[in-house]
Amino acid sequence: MPEAWGDGLLAREIGEQPVLVVAADGWDDSDHERARRTGQAWLPVRVEHGTAVIGPLERPGTPGCVTCFETRRRRARTDTEAREAILAVHGRELAKAASPYLDELGARTVAALTGHLIADPGHAVWYVDLRTLAVERHAFLPEPLCQDCGDLPGDAPEPIELGPTRWGAGYRVRNVLDEHQALLDAYVDGECGLIRPLVRDTLGGLVIAGAMLPLRFEGGTEPGVGRTRDYRSSEVTAVLEALERWGGVEPGGKRTTVRAAYRDLAPDALDPRVLGVHDSASYDRQGFAFRPFAEDVPCEWVWGHSFARKAPILVPESLAYYHVRGRDKPFVYEISNGCALGGSLAEAVLYGLLETVERDAFLMTWYGRRPAPRIDLSTARDTTIPVQAAAITAETGYRVELYDTTTEYGIASVWALAVRMGDDQARPRMVCAAGAHLDPEKAVMGALSELGPLLADLIRRYPDDADRARQMVENPDLVETMHDHSTLYGADAAFDRLSFLTEGTAIRALPDMPRITEDLPEIIARFPDVVVVDQTTPEHRARDFSCVKVLVPGAIPMTFGHHHRRTAGLSRLPADLNPYPHPFP
């Protein structure tokens, strides 16, 4: 082996701090343990399949260790299973074997980069292709739940400070589009990033970006999707949506510390029944994944904040997060309702509230079969609105209609509908989407941005799903997934179920819909209560984001799967509920 590569341990300096540098032929687990035990910085250097891997540098008392890197890499790479199978059999031999390309030049390159990484202030590894000497830097974020360096605080009641709540252009506190490259650098990397490399497409008159987020449990993933008129905006939106999912799936910012029965916490706890539960017939179904709420049965709770009480409040963990892998069977089916990311806590609360309003308005209209006035898009001040609707029609041949579904909360909410023109039953009859915003034109544009890609996707897959759609018309129990809802309403036989909406004659001009200029506290005061759980993790704080879950007692939560609907305990709903599965999204 070349002299420059070394034959064991090398001493370097990082300021006044000695660094233990371990080369491929001298790495032993006991060296690592000794370095950690004695508080010595540690830098591994090894060869993997013809690539020299330098780092990461472990600094005493600083998160971001070798275990963090390996954890991130295991999630991010799509070939992890095959790679680990090889390492399980040949790992030690591969770690010690010299690459045939590790000549004098390669060894000196690796040695030089080793010194460079010691001076690198970030969390990163350097790869050197020993055949070409091409060099790559891969940054990673420390894993807050790392068994070796993670140190999450325990959950505790804390006052919530919204801070400044006046909005800039676009109802945001900062222009995140200007951070496009910084976001990609911080979060996206196919080797060890929080998010895998983005994908691009065009669909429904818009450009699409997808950001796949690997989760902490084996095989778990969540998508972030951006749908705008340019790739830069779509990529930023996709990354932000993936970051929102990261906060919403399970606790990652604090350790859950409270386990008790509701009856023992009642003065300080939220009764989950005010958020809507399943009916008794659903709970009685064989194999139903949820149990009825019982006041005397213990479960996990996390701290949130009630704006009505102006005080901290305990919320069932399974309602604050939607992928919790706890010891208990949850009370209800929960998804990302009310989850939002923002450039500040106030911004996140606003957008979590808007999503809650959007879904509540859609379901209030559906369950109550409430007529809604059709919106005249020609009255929009923003001329891109009718252009976007026309683009959907031009690309797909579907007529686009929007309806004003604003509820008593007074926040502009819309239902978007694309209807097939013609009798070609090989194509879906219709697809729906929704939007809500303080500015009704932004609500409309949000709904159109959802509608176009959803329609294009359903048109693509409907020929294979048409038989199932017709079966679901006859048997609503077959509606089990999110895609099933839209697939069902591709069937012509289901179209009349929306007659309460499509046969109305009332017309509404966009300027006549409510446009809210109030500050956030006044918006919150429109509701009987708004409960906020702070889901922010260290990964969010790396770029100064906040992530929340917003819960509004009495609002109707969106669910997927007909037997999952949560309508029991919600007094705003009529007694005679629409019996059919809803058509969202």
Q: Among residues of the chain, what percentage have pLDDT more than 90?
A: 68
Q: What is the mean pLDDT of residues 309-313?
A: 96
Is residue 17 over pLDDT 70? no
Query: Model confidence over 543-580: pLDDT tens digits?
Result: 999 999 999 999 999 999 999 999 999 999 998 999 99
Q: For position 90, what pLDDT does the model report?
A: 64
Tell me how far apart the alpha carbons of residues 52 and 36 are, in angstroms, rounded to a whole number. Answer: 23
Is residue 13 over pLDDT 50? no
- Which of 12-21, 159-168, 283-292 comes out lowest in average pLDDT? 12-21
Please give the backbone phi and psi of residue 463, each rounded to the nearest 5 degrees, phi first.
-55, -35
Is residue 270 over pLDDT 60? yes
DSSP 297-341: S-EEEEEEEETTTTEEEEEEHHHH-SS---SS--SS---STTEEE
- Which of 9-13, 103-107, 245-249 comes out lowest in average pLDDT? 9-13
Q: For position 201, what pLDDT does the model report?
A: 85
Confidence bin at 533 (pLDDT 50/70/90): very high
Q: How far apart are the first and last CA of the chain?
A: 61
Q: What is the mean pLDDT of residues 3-15?
A: 38
Q: For position 28, what pLDDT does the model report?
A: 56
Greater confidence (416 vs 426) lies with 416
Q: For position 15, what pLDDT does the model report?
A: 41
Q: For position 563, what pLDDT does the model report?
A: 93
Look at the pTM and tell me if it is higher than 0.75.
yes
Is residue 96 over pLDDT 70? no
Is residue 582 over pLDDT 50? yes
Q: For position 369, what pLDDT does the model report?
A: 96
Is residue 354 over pLDDT 80? yes
DSSP 136-166: EEEE----TT-TTT--PPBP-----------
Confidence bin at 170 (pLDDT 50/70/90): confident
Q: Which of 21-30, 178-187, 209-218 is predicted most confidently?
A: 178-187
Query: Model confidence over 186-222: pLDDT tens digits?
Result: 999 999 999 999 998 877 677 889 999 999 988 889 9
The residues, any chain, with a CB within 8 Å of residue 97's CB and separated by 6 or more, are: 47
DSSP 386-405: HHHHHHHHHHH-EEEEEEE-
Is residue 289 over pLDDT 50? yes
Q: How many CA atoms lie within 13 A of 444 on its CB side?
A: 31
Query: Model confidence over 457-493: pLDDT tens digits?
Result: 899 999 999 999 999 999 999 999 999 999 999 999 9
